[in-house]
């Protein structure tokens, strides 16, 4: 058991070390961008500058002012604009028909269903491992609960890793099935 904890701890430290290195590189890149785009700030005087204001002129009442005639509005028509080449390009793009996403048999059974089946298999495996260890009496209750917690947390951690490394795992259903299997396993452990 201590050897297993040591291995898990070393793996966690290695993962966190890489994450810190990646974040440090990102911060250095952002600081470089800010330093390159920063404009020098003018020196601010320590004492406020007093600028005397001129007095406002006397206001004339509306009764004293003569009425100004309102001119008729001038209506002008804009000159015709020649067709821009960009407009013809946009018209060609609008004419292209984009096929709707396929919901065919192969798409469902070839791409979507295996991911959910894998998540369901992991959830059932977690429940059955807990049940088998109870029936066979292989492990003490505390060890059984700890292994179940480690397995469930590992599945949820796998979902988190899949979310952070979206370039490797592009399909969001993988993350969902891993997280669902982890939650189901943790639920089964609480019943043990």
At 77 the pLDDT is: 67
At 70 the pLDDT is: 67
If you compute the radius of gyration of the chain from its CA atoms, what whole number of angstroms results? 35
Segments forming the whole domain that contains residue 142: 114-192
At 154 the pLDDT is: 93
Tally the domains of the chain: 1
Inside any domain, residue 191: yes
Inside any domain, residue 175: yes
Whether the model clears a pTM of 0.95, i.e. scores above it, the answer is no
Give Cα separations from 184 to 106, 123, 140 (angstroms): 29, 6, 21
Give Cα separations from 159 to 24, 144, 166, 174 (angstroms): 24, 23, 11, 7
At 156 the pLDDT is: 92
Inside any domain, residue 151: yes
Under-50 pLDDT residues of the chain: none
Q: Which residue intervals of 61-169 are DSSP H helices?
A: 85-95, 105-107, 113-136, 141-164
Give Cα separations from 115 to 122, 144, 180 (angstroms): 11, 28, 12
Inside any domain, residue 144: yes
Nearest to 4 by CA among 185, 151, 184, 139: 151
Residues with Cβ within 8 Å of residue 152, at least 6 apart in sequence? 126, 182, 183, 185, 186, 189
């Amino acid at each position: 058991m201590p050897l297993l904890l040591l291995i898990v701890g070393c793996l966690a430290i290695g993962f966190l070390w890489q994450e810190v290195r990646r974040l440090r590189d990102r911060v250095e890149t952002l600081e470089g961008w800010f330093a390159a785009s920063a404009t020098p700030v003018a020196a601010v005087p320590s004492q406020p500058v007093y600028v005397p204001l001129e007095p406002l002129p006397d206001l004339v009442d509306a009764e004293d002012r003569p009425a100004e005639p309102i001119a008729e509005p001038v209506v002008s028509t804009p000159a015709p604009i020649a067709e821009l080449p960009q407009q013809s390009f946009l018209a060609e793009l609008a004419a292209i028909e984009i096929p709707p996403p396929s919901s065919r048999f192969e798409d469902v059974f070839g791409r979507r269903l295996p991911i959910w089946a894998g998540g369901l298999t992991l959830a059932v495996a977690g429940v059955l491992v807990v049940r088998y260890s109870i029936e066979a009496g292989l492990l003490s209750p505390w060890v059984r609960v700890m292994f179940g917690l480690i397995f469930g947390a590992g599945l949820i951690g796998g979902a988190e890793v899949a979310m952070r490394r979206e370039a490797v795992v592009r399909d969001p259903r993988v993350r969902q099935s891993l997280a669902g299997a982890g939650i189901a396993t943790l639920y089964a452990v609480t019943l043990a």
